[in-house]
Amino acid sequence: MSLSKTLLRGAAVAGILGTLLSCKADHVVAPQFTASPIFKSYVALGNSISAGYQSGGIDDSTQQRSFPSLLAQQFGTPFTYPSLKNPGCPPPIANFQTGARVTPPGYPPSTGGSCFLRNAWSVTDVLNNVAVPGAVVADPSSPQGVAANALTTFILGGMTQVQRALVAKPTFVTVEIGNNDVLGPAITGQPGGATPLASFQSSYDQMVSQLLAGAPNVKGVLIGVVQVSAAPVLFPAAALASPLFVGGLSQAVGAPVTVHPDCLTAPGNGSLISMYIIPYLQGMKAQGLPPTIVCVKNDVPGMGDYLILDQAEQATVYNLINSYNNYIQQKAAAIGFAYWDPNAALLALNSVPGAINRPPNLASATNPFGTAFSLDGIHPSSSTDVVIANSLIDVINAKYGTSVKHVQ
């Protein structure tokens, strides 16, 4: 046999084999991240606003409409959240006037203590939204929780926010914490209970330090604290000059409400009154006392303080929040993060017709505080979550040179 025939036959064999070898199966490519690399793993830390709390409750629907969820969609990044099974934990208020909450058929009426647990499908190892309603600045780095509630465990399962965030190996974070350090004291008229600035700074620093220790290259935005006095859950005492408004209050309380004259003159008419005055007045009625609103401390002994934020207290709260925000802004600059102060955007809503009802429209069961706020007068509505998300997108694009599109 000649060499040429041998080579020819070898070539034929090689040809047959080559044909077979070329019949490769379709190649399945491992998933790849196609958006901006800094958004590869986005985690939201914070409190109820980041968590998606609305109308005094939280469920899967409100969680999906939270600003971090909206941001993640615009980032084009996967986003897992601790889905709370509808109707929620607790279910959101569905009727402002009756206080009725969403209740599934066959169940007793939902209350503020009802909880329908986590959706089993949402039990994941990586969680991109680790924000916990009610969290104060010390909570994200505190193992036991300072302001811990049932949602702390339902969402974090025994970890801190920072620990849970680091599981996701975050490349980008939003940190929105501090509102609850002053909100409760403000709406109860007891601003002395707010977290002192030094403690706030210490806790904030600890949180950021832990976060950066676990994710040294992480980028993000630190979000300032909302001027909580601007929330429509606090209404101006001057509104009590309106018989219509007082009539609405009386209807809500279930008895005629008496307005002390100090509410109609300075300085009392400059006070802010918490909507939680309604259950307080109901309590007075239950004790056989005439439901009365006093707007100046101790004009009537023992009254005029609780749930009343007078002008001096408003200034205290305002200045404290400014101090918080100055610190947060400095912190952001120090670690190379962007900073966003939410107050300008929220203040701008005042000029949007129907966005904020202050005082609230007590005749409305579904829109008492305006379209910008949910039925608890504290938490943003879904439309305001869009405003927040878009404002953050502007800040992020400016800081990081990205081109994230606005939520439509």
Among residues 12, 48, 313, 291, the alpha carbon closest in space to that of 187 is found at 313
How many residues contact another protein, by CB under 8 A?
A: 61
Tell me the closest approach of the beta carbon of residue 21 to another protein, in angstroms: 6
Of 27-35, 180-188, 210-218, 305-313, the segment contacting another protein by CB under 8 A is 27-35
Q: Is 85 left (phi over 0), alpha (psi -120 to 50) or beta?
A: beta
Tell me the closest approach of the beta carbon of residue 82 to another protein, in angstroms: 7
Inter-residue contact 186 to 194 (CB < 8 Å): yes
Tell me the closest approach of the beta carbon of residue 384 to another protein, in angstroms: 27
CA-based torsion, 145, 151, 156, 161: positive or negative? negative
Tell me the closest approach of the beta carbon of residue 123 to another protein, in angstroms: 3
Among residues 93, 311, 307, the alpha carbon closest in space to that of 188 is found at 307
Instruction: Rule CB under 8 A: choose which of 73, 95, 150, 265 binds another protein.
Output: 150
Q: Does 118 bind another protein (CB under 8 A)?
A: yes
Q: Does 105 bind another protein (CB under 8 A)?
A: no
Among residues 125, 66, 129, 63, the alpha carbon closest in space to that of 91 is found at 63
Give 152-213 as a DSSP string.
HHHHHTTS-HHHHHHHT--SEEEEE--GGGTHHHHHTT-GGGSPPHHHHHHHHHHHHHHHHH
Instruction: Rule CB under 8 A: choose which of 3, 105, 113, 301 binds another protein.
Output: 113
Give, in order, the Cα–Cα distances in Å from 18 to each of 8, 14, 160: 15, 6, 58
Q: Does 103 bind another protein (CB under 8 A)?
A: no
For residues 31-50, which are near another protein according to CB under 8 A? 31-33, 40-41
Site string for another protein, 71-100 (x = CB under 8 A): -------x-x-x------xx----------
Instruction: Rule CB under 8 A: choose which of 15, 157, 196, 283 binds another protein.
Output: 157
Instruction: Rule CB under 8 A: choose which of 64, 99, 103, 167 binds another protein.
Output: 167
CA-based torsion, 257, 258, 262, 266: positive or negative? positive
For residues 189-208, which are near another protein according to CB under 8 A? none
Q: In the 8-state DSSP scheme, what is residue 118?
A: B
For residues 157 and 250, what is the distance between their CA atoms, to the nearest angstrom? 43
Torsion of CA 230, 62, 85, 366, to 10 degrees: 70
Q: Which is nearer to another protein, 16 or 241 (CB)?
A: 16
Binding site for another protein (CB under 8 A): 1, 5-6, 9-10, 13, 16-17, 20-21, 23-33, 40-41, 78, 80, 82, 89-90, 107, 111, 113-120, 123-127, 143-145, 148-150, 152-159, 164, 167-169
